[in-house]
Amino acid sequence: MSWRLSKAAAQLREQIDDDYPERDRRSDGTVADSRHFASNPSSDHIPRDGIVRALDIDANLNAHPEETYALVEKMRKCAKRGDKRIKYIIYDGKIMSGTLNWKRRKYRGPNPHKSHFHISFTTLGDKDDSWFNLEGETNERTQIDGGKLGEDIRSSSSSDLPSSRPGCQCDCKCRSSVSLA
């Protein structure tokens, strides 16, 4: 049977590959094998209408171990903010879905998903390959002052540019505090 990965799944995998080019891929997965099909016939790894709507990503991102938790948290928040392409996420014995407003709860399936994380996608992701906004809100300065991107900065000693503000998000991968609410 021929199949293809949903466009949303392919896009998310590409974003992860771009961010972690040296990551381990041994536990990556897409389409179900016959053993998986027999044990879980409703799995999103099984093609429906020729489309696989699930993606497994190895938990070893070749970074600090907590980076995997941070990435899963970014995906959870992306879905909670309203990206309807993500159906649910499973990692480290926890499942997150819209059922309980994207809160973590104990996953009771036979595989606790410790060596990889699992993302299932809705049918909205079949054709939607738009970028996943895993960083959250857009540039804070743009929201505050409209951006003023083309304006010159005054040469006087006083600047109208915002200085360090509490809550400002950096885009670096070195953040150590991740809320796991």
Question: Which residues form the domain of 69?
Answer: 4-126
pLDDT, greater one: 146 or 41: 41
pLDDT average, residue stretch 36-56: 88
Assigned domain for 157 exists: no
In whole angstroms, how far apart are CA 176 and each of 24, 50, 69, 83? 22, 40, 11, 25
For residue 161 the two structure tokens come to 């540019």
Q: Which helix (H) or strand (E) holds 39?
A: helix 34-39
Could you tell me which residue, 82 or 138, shows the higher pLDDT?
82
Could you report the per-residue pLDDT of 12-40, keeping only the tens digit for each? 999 999 999 999 999 999 998 777 766 77
Residue 10 to residues 31, 53, 121, 156: CA-CA distances in angstroms?
Answer: 13, 10, 11, 49
In this prediction, residue 179 carries a pLDDT of: 37
What confidence score (pLDDT) does residue 49 get? 95
Residue 38 placed within a domain: yes
Residues 6 or more apart from 180 whose CB is under 8 A from it?
69, 73, 104
Residue 180 inside a domain? The answer is no
> Is residue 169 a part of any domain in this protein?
no
Is 138 a domain residue?
no
Highest mean pLDDT pick, 5-14, 37-46, 135-144:
5-14
pTM of the model: 0.74
117 belongs to a structural domain: yes
Give the per-residue pLDDT at 136: 79
Domain presence at residue 132: no
- In-domain check, residue 105: yes
> How many structural domains is the chain composed of?
1
- Sheet containing strand 54-58, strands side by side: 54-58, 116-121, 86-91, 94-97, 104-106
For position 181, what pLDDT does the model report? 39
Average pLDDT, integer, range 62-80: 95
Apex 120 CA angle, 116 and 11, nearest 5:
85
Q: Report d(CA 112, CA 17) in Å as an integer.
A: 23
| H-run or E-run covering 67 | helix 66-80
